Copies of this chain bind each other. A is one copy, B any other.
Amino acid sequence: MSEISAYLEQRRALVEDALDASIRDDGSRLVEAMRYALLGGGKRIRPILLLAAADAVGTDRPASPALMPFACAIEMIHAYSLVHDDLPAMDDDELRRGRPTLHIRYDEALAILAGDGLLTEAFSVMSGVAAQTADPAAARAAAEIAAAAGAAGMVGGQADDMAAEGSEAGVDEVERIHRRKTGALLRAAVRAGALLGGADQKQLSALTAYGESLGLAFQVVDDVLDATAPTQATGKTAGRDRERGKRTYPVLLGLDGARARAEELRRGARSALEPFGAAADPLRDLVDFVVDRAAAAA
């Protein structure tokens, strides 16, 4: 997948530069902490998904100036969610992307505030762009991202996930949690990109199906990696799910079953892309990138 990687890598580099410019160091510890959380590596899946979804539908028109700001904003939301999830009262993780988590590197109060600051900055960026461009798609995309990040989406999924720890939740319940906890924001990244790219209703539906399959595949693979990969491979403390008695896909389906589920979701995601032809190649690459992380750790 060498061509694939070239596209992804080029996009990743563009996103990295835009993120670095999106929050300017002002000499305060708060902004330093926000930048630490935002710029410490990461695969940048969500912003790249957003850009690639716009590319899949918008090949015949100039790219919207809202795309890169929205790509940065959705990564800020992702970064904030990691900072808060890592807090002692939540998942209590000390390692993220191979570095100390924010409350370890700074302190708990600053970690809470830096997360709040990142979430707020995301909406500042999106509503600023919506106001400047007066593009109704920008306001709609911001609304979709907000809904996906909130109680009906990511925050609600995290609350349910914590409540389900040590429970006897089955596959359906676990899948329901993941659709909100990680799936909703990935789906929103795809839909926001599609909306900003000018998708029609049919394209939007197809890309939504793609985003949903990819979102679930992402979580299945994350669970497989937690169970199989050493700490240095993921940058996260290995085996934390098992320690906490989490109902993961490998626990529920076995490792082979979980890998088979990821393959099934890959097929679903790719099949949703059929109408788009070559313009969706980057989206095909992205689902391969996501699922092949698990194969690589086999």
Residues of A within 8 A of B (CB): 23, 26, 28-31, 34, 80, 84, 87, 89-90, 107-110, 112-113, 115-117, 119-121, 123-124, 126-128, 130-131, 134, 136, 138-140, 142-143, 146-147, 149-151, 155-156, 158-160, 162-163
Contacts and interface: CB of A to CB of B under 8 A. Distances in A.
Contact of A28 (B110, B127, B156): B156
A131 to B, nearest CB: 4
B159 A30 contact: yes
Nearest to A116: B155
Given A87-B109, A131-B140, 12 more contacts: A26-B151, A29-B159, A30-B151, A34-B151, A84-B116, A90-B109, A115-B116, A120-B155, A124-B146, A128-B143, A130-B143, A134-B139
A107 B89 CA distance: 9
Contact of A139 (B108, B131, B156, B159): B131
Contact of A159 (B108, B110, B123): B110
Nearest to A142: B127
Nearest to A77: B120
A120 B31 contact: no
A138 to B, nearest CB: 8
B136 A120 contact: no
A76 to B, nearest CB: 11
A47 B173 CA distance: 39
A274 to B, nearest CB: 30
Nearest to A34: B151
A249 to B, nearest CB: 23
B120 A146 contact: yes
A163 B29 contact: yes
A123 B142 contact: yes
A126 B142 CA distance: 9
A130 B120 contact: no
Nearest to A138: B139
Contacts of A146: 120-121, 123-124, 127-128
13 contacts: A80-B116, A89-B112, A110-B159, A113-B155, A117-B150, A119-B120, A120-B151, A121-B151, A128-B147, A130-B139, A130-B142, A131-B136, A131-B139
A142 B155 CA distance: 21
A158 B29 CA distance: 12
Contact of A117 (B87, B107, B143, B156): B156
A109 B150 contact: no
A115 B113 CA distance: 11
Contacts of A150: 117, 120-121, 124
Given A109-B162, A112-B112, A146-B127, A117 B29 contact: no
A276 to B, nearest CB: 25
A116 B119 contact: yes
